[in-house]
A and B are shown apart, each in its own frame.
Chain A
Amino acid sequence: MFYREAGDFKTSYRDDGQTFPIAFDRWRYYFVLLVGFVGIPLVLTEYTANAVMIPFLIWAIVAIGLNILTGYCGQVSLGTGGFMAVGAYAAYKIMTAAPELNILFVVLLSGGVTAAVGMLFGLPSLRIKGFYLAVATLAAQFFLVWLFNRVPWFYNNSASGQITAPERSILGMAVTGPQAGAVPKYLFCLVILFALAWLARNLTRGRLGRSWMAIRDMDIAAEIIGVNPLRAKLSAFAISSFFVGVGGALFFTVYLGAVEVGEAFGINKSFLALFMIIIGGLGSIFGSFAGAAFMVLMPVLLKNLMVDTLSWPTAIAAHFEFMIVGALIVFFLVVEPHGLAALWRTAKEKLRLWPFPH
């Protein structure tokens, strides 16, 4: 009843093209921001922050990044884990080489390094397409993980082969290292996520985003109408890798603190990110959030249910988790191949007509 364009007059082109054309959506958006920035930090506990909120925020960044490449530009990538590792190791090298540098710039710089690496591995995409490209990105995954495992320079010759994040703070509050509190970590990730999501939303509806979508829908046709495939594909790889790199840097510095590359950034992480954008919805920023929330929350809930409530052994719970994740992915693809975002769109369409649908 309240969810209508009616009565919400647009007086400029700017108003007409805004992300949330319906007043209710705008208020909901401000409400979500308010809850995210003020409400949640008030009630945040150590456990919810580390088990749910921080992984969700970081994975949302990664999912948006992968969605730019796969959902918007149509280039399937299975190298997400490798690019996250680049972000993490870049952050480590920068943090240890320049201890004075603010952690925010460290994270952004790591994203930049990852963007460069991503462009390098994106070069074959100009010639290889479809499945062949998906498998080719696996080269990035395995090569990068091997590189960080084998070349001691990357982990500063530490005996364990691990990298550990030193303590860094923003505005006097520690956000990395063992002393960091839940709220500063959460807010730090949230601010970055907010900025990047805003950037992604505006990129994807501008000239660049449209050229990506043209390439996705049919690259030859796009080339004929004047989209430069080199620029479109490489920019998609660069920007996507930037997001994934920032996510990887946060994953290492803020979330895990200490990382062993094969375990933290293995091929499973690539698949996890891919599942997020499939379940959430390809080519949708909201879908990236929904998918990340789903894939982060579900294992936590399942574990709570099976291990804590039914008190089954953890091994069985882990096997069930595999089965449920797999079955859910198949279920989603069968029922709604466009993901949670499509369900959300349908719900909004219905809501606009409610309570008089005819």
Chain B
Amino acid sequence: MSPTFLYTLEVILNGLMAGVMYALVALGFVLIFKASGIFNYAQGVMALFAALTLVGIQQGQVPFAHLINAVFGTEVRDFGWTVPTLLAILLALGVMVLFAWAVNALVLRHLVNQAPIILFMATIGLAYFMEGLGDLMWGSDLKTLDVGLPSGGSFWLEDVTRGWAAEGADYYGMYIDLLDVWATVIAVALVAALMLFSQYTRTGRALRAVADDHQAALSVGISLRVIWVIVWSIAGFVALVAGIMWGAKLGVQFSLSLIALKALPVLMLGGFTSIPGAIVGGLIIGVGEKLFEFSVGPLIGGATENWFAYVLALLFLVFRPQGLFGERIIERV
């Protein structure tokens, strides 16, 4: 096999795995959008907040340490203990559930029956609030998140693929980050778990009922308020998983919240209402942008990953305005 072919293969593989990472974030959007019709811009910030909280708990930081020091002139920083990873994840999950409840009680309950665009703006406000809160609670410095997942390249794969190349070719094997592989495995497990949950549990069925028709669900005795808290909690859980994967890859910092912006074209492409759509959309965007950067990028200045996803999604939308898997938009006067 020629090295060019192998390089392209490597780019495609990396693109697929990047796509899974995008899909992880997009999944949270779809869950909330289906259940409550809210386009939750804060999903990316939720991932950041969850990751910050996880690191903070793991390392035993004192919340609001900076603020306390500034106001009282003290020098507190951490409690001096570290929490085991699994326990820390559970605690962070608890914080996200608490957050889901607070959002519903303080914000969404008061915005029932408002236009979708108003709700969207409210989530932008929420995103700003959480960004400030996360930084205020845990500090804005770059943190490393270590949950015991392997990372770095796989020597085994490099050795195997080097053998594939033609004899004497200038090729040193494929580089594939183990963390990405793990992210893929976890994402698949997460989606499978979500599917099982929504198919076989009482709450899952209620969720699907609400997603299908709010009023019909209300009329058979499903409490929308409870369901919304549950949906936001699940979205918080998905955000936590996304935050762990992205945080382990890039470090936990402000720019993590920008992954929401990467998830938006994925959503547009796949359709706002479809979980398979979010995954397929993620894969298409991941492969598309990596291939474009690989083939056309060097000719036009590089860093095309910033916008290519949007332009690709835009092109798809012109031909299919509801996205690939979205529900058909029916308009009546």
Interface residues of A (CB under 8 A from B): 76, 124, 127-132, 134-136, 138-139, 142-143, 145-146, 149-151, 218, 220-221, 224, 267, 271, 274-275, 278, 312-313, 315-316, 319-330, 333-334, 337
Are B121's CB and A274's CB within 8 A? yes
Contact status of A329 and B310, CB under 8 A, knowing A76-B117, A150-B303, A316-B67: no
Question: Which of A145, A224, A312, A326 has most chain B Cβ within 10 Å?
Answer: A326
B202 located at the interface, meaning its Cβ lies under 8 Å from any Cβ of chain A in the complex: no
- The chain B residue sitting closest to A123, CB to CB, is B318
Kindly list chain A residues whose C-beta atoms are within 8 Å of the C-beta of B128.
322-323, 325-326, 329
Given A220-B331, A220-B333, A315-B140: A320 and B132 interface contact (C-beta under 8 Å): yes
Interface pair A313/B70, CB less than 8 Å apart? yes
A131 to B272, CA, bound (A): 9
Q: Which residue of chain B has the shortest Cβ distance to A149 in the bound complex?
A: B303
What is the bound-complex CA distance between A267 and B67, given in angstroms?
28
Q: How far is the CB of A335 from chain B (nearest CB, A)?
A: 8
Which A residues are in CB contact (< 8 Å) with B115?
Answer: 337
In the complex, what residue of chain A is closest to B129 when comparing beta carbons? A326
Across the interface, which residues of A come within 8 angstroms of B321, CB to CB?
A: 127-129, 132
* B310→A136 contact, CB < 8 A: yes
CA distance A146 to B39 in the complex (A): 26
Q: Which residues of B contact A319 (CB under 8 A)?
A: 132-133, 135-136, 140
Q: Are the CB atoms of A326 and B131 closer together than 8 Å?
A: yes
15 A-B Cβ contacts within 8 A?
A127-B318, A128-B321, A132-B272, A132-B323, A135-B264, A138-B310, A220-B332, A224-B333, A271-B124, A319-B140, A322-B132, A325-B125, A329-B121, A329-B122, A329-B128
Q: Which 8 A-B pairs have the closest CB atoms?
A: A326-B129, A322-B132, A329-B125, A326-B128, A323-B132, A139-B310, A150-B301, A142-B307
With known contacts A124-B318, A150-B301, A330–B107 Cβ distance under 8 A: yes
Contacts of A149 in B (CB 8 A): 303
Q: Is B27's CB within 8 Å of the partner chain A?
A: no
Bound-state Cα–Cα, A149 to B307, Å = 12
Measured between alpha carbons, how far is A328 from B122 in the docked complex, in Å?
10
Contact A267–B135 (Cβ < 8 Å): no
Whether A132 pairs with B135 at a CB distance below 8 angstroms is: no
Scan B190-222; emit 1 where CB is below 8 A from any A CB, else 0: 000000000000000000000000000000000
Nearest-neighbor residue (CB-CB) of A151 within chain B: B301
Bound together, the chains give a CA A278 to CA B300 distance in angstroms of 38
B50 within 8 A of A: no
B204-256 contacts to A, CB under 8 A, are none
Q: B residues within 8 A CB of A316?
A: 66-67, 70, 136
B280 within 8 A of A: no
User: Are the CB atoms of B124 and A274 closer together than 8 Å?
Assistant: yes
Q: Known contacts being A320-B136, A322-B131, is A130 close to B121, with CB within 8 Å? A: no
Cβ-defined contact, A333 with B129, below 8 A: no
Given contacts A124-B318, A316-B66, contact A146 B125 (CB under 8 A): no
Q: Across the interface, which residues of B come within 8 angstroms of A220, CB to CB? A: 331-333
- Contact check, B124 vs A337: say whether CB atoms are below 8 A apart: no
A87 to chain B, nearest CB (A): 19
Q: Are A333 and B317 in contact (CB under 8 A)?
A: no
Q: Is the CB of B317 within 8 A of A124?
A: yes
- Which of B261, B318, B331 is close to A267, meaning CB atoms less than 8 Å apart? B261
In the bound complex, CA of A328 to CA of B116 (Å): 19
In the complex, what residues of B have CB within 8 A of residue A337's CB? Answer: 114-115, 118
A323 near B129: Cβ-Cβ < 8 Å: yes
B136, A333: Cβ atoms closer than 8 Å: no
Determine whether the beta carbon of A326 is less than 8 Å from that of B264: no
Determine the residue in chain A with the shortest Cβ distance to B310.
A139
- Chain B's closest residue to A321 (CB) is B132
Known: A146-B306, A220-B333, A330-B129. A131 touches B120 (CB 8 A): yes
- Tell me the complex Cα distance, A278–B118, Å: 9
The answer to whether B272 and A312 touch across the interface, beta carbons within 8 angstroms, is no
> Which residues from chain B contact A146 at a C-beta distance below 8 Å?
303-304, 306-307
A183–B118 alpha-carbon span in the complex (Å): 39
Contact status B331-A135, CB under 8 Å: no
Chain B: which residue is nearest A268 at the CB level?
Answer: B128
Chain B neighbourhood of A312, CB < 8 A:
70-71
The answer to whether the Cβ of B98 comes within 8 Å of any Cβ in the partner chain is: no
- A289 CA / B111 CA spacing, docked (Å): 25
How far, in angstroms, from A130 to B67 measured CA to CA in the complex? 41
Q: How far is the CA of A324 from the CA of B125 in the complex (A)?
A: 9
Chain A residues near B66 (CB-CB < 8 A):
313, 315-316
